Amino acid sequence: MNKKSIVAAASAATVMLSASAWGFSFDDIHYWVGEGTNKCAIVVDWSGTAKAWGYRWNGDCTNVMEVATRIAHEDPRLRMCVQKMTESYFDLYFFGYDTNDCHPSWDEDNGTASDPDALVNREKSDPLAWWVFYGPMNGNAFPTTEQYSSWYAANTVTPVDGDWFVFSYGSPDYDASWNESPTVLNTPTAAETPYGFRVVASATTAEKAMYSEPNNVLGHPTMYMYGMWGGPISPVNPAWMEGELFSLESYGDEELEPGEEDGPGYVTIEFDHDVVDDPANPYGLDFIVFGNAMCIRKGNEYYGEADDPGASILKGEGNPEYAKVEVSADGTHWFTDSTWKFADNFAPTLGYLYEPALADPALYSGNRWWGRAAHATKPVNPTVDFADCANKTLTQVCNAYNGAAGGTGYDISRLDLPRDAKGRRYFRYVRISSAFVDDTGEGDSGYTAPDIDAVADVAPVSGYELWAEANYTDWMTAWDSSVSGMDAVAANGRKNVVNYVLGLSANESVAGIDFAISGFYPGETVHSIQLRSKTKMTAVPYGLVVKKSSLPTSGWTKAFPVFAGSEEQSDGTWLNTFTVPNDGAKFFKLSLDE
């Protein structure tokens, strides 16, 4: 057996246990991916530090590799890289975890990250592999004394309800006795969840039990509704069934504070971490509130699973049910911003990406359009409203979300909140309540009756993504790959990334400034590489890497260049110097990469 090409496979090695169990169970997991009544747990162990996630599903689950892939797709902190070796086996050669939530650059080939605190293991050429250990566990805390590894690769192991799986870096020595070379599985900690973790307080006058459970606001926003009138959540098909929402229904004709007798319906939600005003957050937004607002279709007809989203034309109208939003660092002192939109508003939730080529047949029978989960930690352009969807198809609107799951985004930068060690404002609690309006639609004053589904911490993005966001402002065409000319998406899928690296505006010509090495200076420990740009650089631009090789024809691997300085030239351009380690490579070239 070739242990390089059989990833996440293991043989009958004994697992070393220090006690009957870790004392870590399903109840200790913070981050759950998927929806359904069946549950399994995934642990990634970086040779000493281990993180745990949960996965839910209904019906049949495909395999452990697919579960891990879906978790990595949804958690912006987790990086997972797989390459297909044969029809039967895959090489899972890289797991990375962003401990600082700072969006580092990952070098999967060399097993490194630009943030030294990130959890990484294994170079692509390292003979050690990620090995998977698994149950059956029957819902017990993992591991147990019966726990063994398996001959099967992760893509051939089918999870059942209650299973635990551990991806552990390294494997027993093939030349040693299994009993003499046990594998140690480390006690995990819960991976932080970007979603609401705990309900602190709540009140509602909703009489229906399906809308009066406050814990419905925790975790990921609803993606799929099961039942006769269910289906995938989309801007025209919002969540409304049992177990999905908490209604902030209120009675009263005077404006009171949340928690007062006869006051508004409200819910106070705690995150398991501080939500910060991160300058790398898209559109400057720091958190998102999901409700069940919807876009109205022309004809006002109901949208069913079999309906073609490309044939569904939107009116440019919606049904917002306004909710007031406040935040607090300590759960006592509350802050809001007069410029904030009410929640349960635009943008309506999108559960799955419109991906006909990746349509998931397990989602429902006959699914032809909906693929991977939309990103609930990514906001939609906040300048857009229901009116911008007029005469657009559901397909166009879903694509214009640009991978986001919708919701209403909020920026805390103007609030008088405390600051963390990096000087960033932060909060930990969000309170959402019925808004008091002068006209409820019947000519009188009173409280609205919004429904809340979830809250999410916005994930930071790269400098390139912020640049593209600022330069491509047309909501419907900014990310459209069919656009031609200067607005065309670059060959690597990144819009005008050369312009970004060279310090040019989005539509500026690159003529006269070559994307090439301007100077190369070998050194005993590091080599210096120079690149010209139109503007001064202060750091390595996102997307710029150095490729190195011992031969000019093959075997190129990535190196993270280290920024050394930028010097203005007589022609007005800037000469930027970067260094790379002298590790024996003989040839170097500049390259664009993610």
What CATH number is given to the structural domain containing 524? 2.60.40
Q: Torsion-angle region of residue 472: left (phi > 0), alpha (psi -120 to 50) or beta?
A: beta
What is the length of the chain? 594
Please give the average per-residue pLDDT across 326-344, as a whole number. 97
The Cα-based distances of 358 to 130, 404, 499, 540, 566 in angstroms read 27, 17, 31, 34, 44
pLDDT at residue 578 above 70? Answer: yes
Distance CA 433, CA 441 (A): 19
Within-domain flag for 56: yes
- pLDDT category, 164, cuts 50, 70, 90? confident
Residue with tokens 């690149």: 531
For residue 92, the enclosing domain spans 15-190
Using DSSP's 3-state secondary structure scheme, residue 435 falls into coil
Supply the mean pLDDT for the chain. 83
Residue with tokens 């300590």: 330
Return the pLDDT at 426. Answer: 98
DSSP annotation string for 325-376: EEEESSSSS-B--TTPPPBS-SS----EEE-GGG--TTTSTT--SEEEEPBT
Return the pLDDT at 119. Answer: 95
Within-domain flag for 547: yes
Q: Assess whether 255 and 312 both reside in one domain.
A: yes
Distance CA 489, CA 36 (A): 38
Q: How is residue 84 written in tokens?
A: 């297909």
Enumerate residues 6+ apart whose C-beta is below 8 A from 259.
201, 203, 266
Q: Assess whether 486 and 556 both reside in one domain.
A: yes
Q: Into how many domains does the chain fold?
A: 3
Of 101-115, 192-206, 312-326, least confident by mean pLDDT is 101-115
Q: Assess whether 170 and 208 both reside in one domain.
A: no
Within-domain flag for 466: no
Please give the average per-residue pLDDT across 188-192, as a whole number. 95
What is the number of other CB atoms lying within 10 angstroms of the CB of residue 279? 10
What CATH number is given to the structural domain containing 181? 2.170.130.30
Distance CA 130, CA 118 (A): 17
Please identify, among 155, 190, 225, the residue that sits at the C-terminal boundary of a domain. 190
pLDDT in tens, 228-274: 778 999 999 999 988 899 999 987 777 888 888 888 999 999 999 99
How is the chain split among helix, strand and coil, in percent rounded to 5?
A: 10, 30, 60
Return the pLDDT at 428. Answer: 98
Within-domain flag for 213: yes
**Choice between 113 and 138, residue whose per-residue pLDDT is larger:** 113
CB 265, CB 248: distance < 8 Å = yes
Enumerate residues 6+ apart whose C-beta is below 8 A from 265.
203, 204, 205, 206, 247, 248, 249, 250, 433, 434, 447, 449
Q: Assess whether 393 and 265 both reside in one domain.
A: yes
Using DSSP's 3-state secondary structure scheme, residue 463 falls into helix
Q: How is residue 64 written in tokens?
A: 């452990």
Return the pLDDT at 484. Answer: 54
Distance CA 25, CA 184 (A): 18
Please identify, among 149, 164, 190, the residue that sits at the C-terminal boundary of a domain. 190
Residues facing 201 on adjacent strands? 268
Q: Assess whether 372 and 485 both reside in one domain.
A: no
Residues facing 526 on adjacent strands? 581
Which pTM does this prediction carry? 0.87
Q: Assess whether 409 and 437 both reside in one domain.
A: yes
Q: Assess whether 49 and 79 both reside in one domain.
A: yes
Element holding 318 (H helix, E strand): strand 314-318
pLDDT in tens, 340-361: 999 999 999 999 999 999 999 9
pLDDT in tens, 382-438: 999 999 999 999 999 999 998 999 999 999 999 999 999 999 999 999 999 999 887
Within-domain flag for 594: yes
Using DSSP's 3-state secondary structure scheme, residue 589 falls into strand
Q: Assess whether 132 and 230 both reside in one domain.
A: no
The Cα-based distances of 266 to 116, 258, 403, 440, 454 in angstroms read 42, 6, 30, 18, 13
Of 13-17, 228-232, 278-282, 433-437, least confident by mean pLDDT is 13-17
Distance CA 191, CA 181 (A): 29
Q: How is residue 255 written in tokens?
A: 């404006």
**Choice between 102 and 145, residue whose per-residue pLDDT is larger:** 102
Q: Assess whether 360 and 240 both reside in one domain.
A: yes
Please identify, among 190, 221, 244, the residue that sits at the C-terminal boundary of a domain. 190
Q: Assess whether 233 and 163 both reside in one domain.
A: no
Return the pLDDT at 181. Answer: 45
- pLDDT category, 170, cuts 50, 70, 90? low
Distance CA 298, CA 295 (A): 10
pLDDT at residue 1 above 60? Answer: no
Within-domain flag for 4: no
Distance CA 212, CA 210 (A): 6
Q: Give the type of residue at 464.
A: Y
Q: Assess whether 154 and 205 both reside in one domain.
A: no
Element holding 317 (H helix, E strand): strand 314-318
E strand residue ranges, 143-225: 148-149, 164-169, 183-184, 189-190, 198-203, 224-225
- pLDDT category, 3, cuts 50, 70, 90? very low
Strands 189-190 and 49-57 turn out to be parallel
Return the pLDDT at 177. Answer: 39
The Cα-based distances of 551 to 10, 125, 346, 501, 589 in angstroms read 35, 17, 54, 27, 12
Using DSSP's 3-state secondary structure scheme, residue 487 falls into helix
Within-domain flag for 104: yes
Distance CA 244, CA 229 (A): 14
In percent, the amount of the chain with pLDDT more than 90 equals: 48
Of 50-54, 194-198, 335-339, 472-476, least confident by mean pLDDT is 472-476
Which phi and psi (to 5°) does residue 486 adopt? Answer: -65, -20
Within-domain flag for 48: yes
pLDDT at residue 47 above 60? Answer: yes
Q: Assess whether 218 and 159 both reside in one domain.
A: no
Distance CA 59, CA 36 (A): 8
Q: Give the type of residue at 58.
A: N
What is the number of other CB atoms lying within 10 angstroms of the CB of residue 372? 15
pLDDT in tens, 219-237: 999 999 987 778 999 999 9
pLDDT in tens, 448-460: 899 999 999 999 9
The Cα-based distances of 7 to 45, 147, 182 in angstroms read 15, 19, 19
Q: How is residue 6 written in tokens?
A: 């059989």
pLDDT at residue 373 above 80? Answer: yes
Of 133-142, 189-198, 372-381, least confident by mean pLDDT is 133-142
Enumerate residues 6+ apart whose C-beta is below 8 A from 459.
76, 77, 101, 103, 194, 281, 375, 377, 378
